[in-house]
Structure 1
Amino acid sequence: MGHDEQVEELEVLESIFPEELTKISDTEFRISVSLDLPQEDSESPAEQPTILLQIRYPEDYPDKAPHFDLVSPPNAVSHPHFSLSDDREALLKTLGEVAEDNLGMAMIFTLVSSLKDEAEMIVAGRVAELEKEREEQILAAERAENAKFHGTPVNPETFMRWREGFIKEMEEKAAREEEERLAEMKKAKVKEPVRMTGRELWEKGLAGKAVDEDADDDEVVDGVQKLNVEA
């Protein structure tokens, strides 16, 4: 394709991209490529990012690939899932492969379309990965919540662990109760037995079995104290 053919392709591109293409010379221009990215917040949508594809025809284009580069427009807004500084090398590599596949043909429109598709695919992959992580977090939280309502599956190993813990707990409980019992016994006061009077012993039929230990030399007849009568 000679110079005339290059001019012809550029004119076609100007008709396809009337607002996006900025002509610098007959062999050099740039095209603004706007990305259509998914919006996470419909109420406050983020401004869509734009990439500037700069093109310069070599003398023997299209038998030789055009010179191209990617730059951000002045005052470019940031996007949560796309950064040209991070993705530039990957996008340029894709454009180089597309250019090699289309040698001998007018390829600028194909390069623009490939750039847009590749950039949007990169963002779509990131959004899908983030969504997958959020879903995994939700599922993990649900599993943790459901685990509260399900006991530990019983098998010989878990049963033996439970049994050992239960026996140890019962032994510790019994030891504590024994210590408390002994402590209470030490604190307890032994009360003197209540002595019954002679009359109470007589009335209860116990007179023949009890002797008043406080009596001195008084005689005891049939178990009942015989009182001395003063003259």
Structure 2
Amino acid sequence: MKYRLDYKEEQEQELEVLKSIYPDELEGEGEFRITLIPEEQDSSTPLVLALRIKYTPTYPEEIPEISLEVLEGSLEENEHDKLYTDLTNMARDSIGIAMVFTLSSFLKDSLTTFVIERQEQRKKVEEDRIRKEIEEEQAKFQGTRVTIASFLEWRENFEREIAEREKTTKSLTLLRKEELRRNKLTGRQLFEQDEALARSDVTFMEEGDVTVDISLFEREFDMESEDDENSVLDLVRSSTD
């Protein structure tokens, strides 16, 4: 195994290559960060991360110190853990060679996948919401689907309701008859009640109304009857003569 004394030189050479690849994205020297923007970005929920690298004394014979920094947007805890685990495993597989570009390319591709998955998930949620609204709107016109079980339940409830109504109606009818029986008036009571009502109407007559004395009509009727009787007697007497 070759004993290497030029780790520092290899690190400087890799850093120069990285600066040419990421002229605006790379910041720092022995401890640096590379800003990574996904190939497909979501304007409503943008996601930008930085890969932070710190060279160890014997890098690349050992993995560097790796960390992730969220510059824009957010990462779920499980997403962060998955990215870090994948980067660490990839770094272990790359021991002995310069690996930062490989790690940064992998991270950029992973961010792009995250963005696409989030877009698809948001689209699915929106489609489910619209479909639910359409189904609810259609249900207003279609009504409830009738099954044998639901029909039998409806008929049982309907028959029970009819029976209760009939029972209530019979009870009210009996109560009404009993009330009429208890409050039944005699002919004299009805007459007195009608006479009292007729007299009570006088109290509601307005000023200037003409009152009518019924007794005058009764006397006049008696007088006319008496005149008719006298006329008949006169005719009988004249015929006998």
Shorter-chain TM range is 0.5 to 0.7
- Segments of structure 1 that go 5 or more residues without pairing to the other structure are 41-45, 195-231
Aligned counterparts, 1:166-181, within 5 A? 166-181=158-173
The residue correspondences of 1:103-114 to structure 2 (distance < 5 A) are 103-114=95-106
Aligned residue pairs total 179
Q: Pick from 49, 52, 62: which aligns with 1:51?
A: 49
For the Cα contact (< 8 Å) 2:56–2:62, is it kept in 1?
Answer: yes
TM-score (norm: length of structure 2) = 0.60
Larger Rg: 2
How many Å separate the matches in 1 of 2:173 and 2:76? Answer: 79
Matching of residues 2-17 of structure 1 within 5 Å? 2=6, 3-17=8-22
Q: Aligned partners of 2:14, 2:65: CA distance in 1, in Å?
A: 16
1:210-229 alignment to 2 at 5 Å? Answer: none
**Residue 205 of structure 1 corresponds to which residue in structure 2?**
none
Q: State the identity %.
A: 30
* Amino acid of the structure 1 residue aligned with 2:176: E
CA-CA distance at 1:115 after TM superposition: 1.4
After superposition, the Cα gap between the structure-2 partners of 1:132 and 1:49, relative to the gap in structure 1 and judged at 3 Å, is closer
Distance 1:31 1:151 in 2: 60
Deviation of 1:184 after TM superposition, in Å, equals 3.2
Is 1:21 the counterpart of 2:26? The answer is yes
| Residue 31 of structure 1: aligned partner | 34
- Alpha-carbon separation, structure 2, partners of 1:163 and 1:15: 82
Map 1:1-231 onto structure 2 (within 5 A).
2=6, 3-25=8-30, 28-35=31-38, 36-40=40-44, 48-72=46-70, 76=71, 79=73, 82-83=74-75, 87-148=79-140, 149-155=142-148, 157-188=149-180, 190=184
Gaps of 5+ in 2: 189-241
Which amino acid counterpart does residue 17 of structure 2 have in structure 1? V
Q: CA deviation at 1:193?
A: 6.8
The CA deviation at 1:168 is 0.3
Larger proportion of helix = 2
- TM-score, normalised by the number of residues in structure 1: 0.62
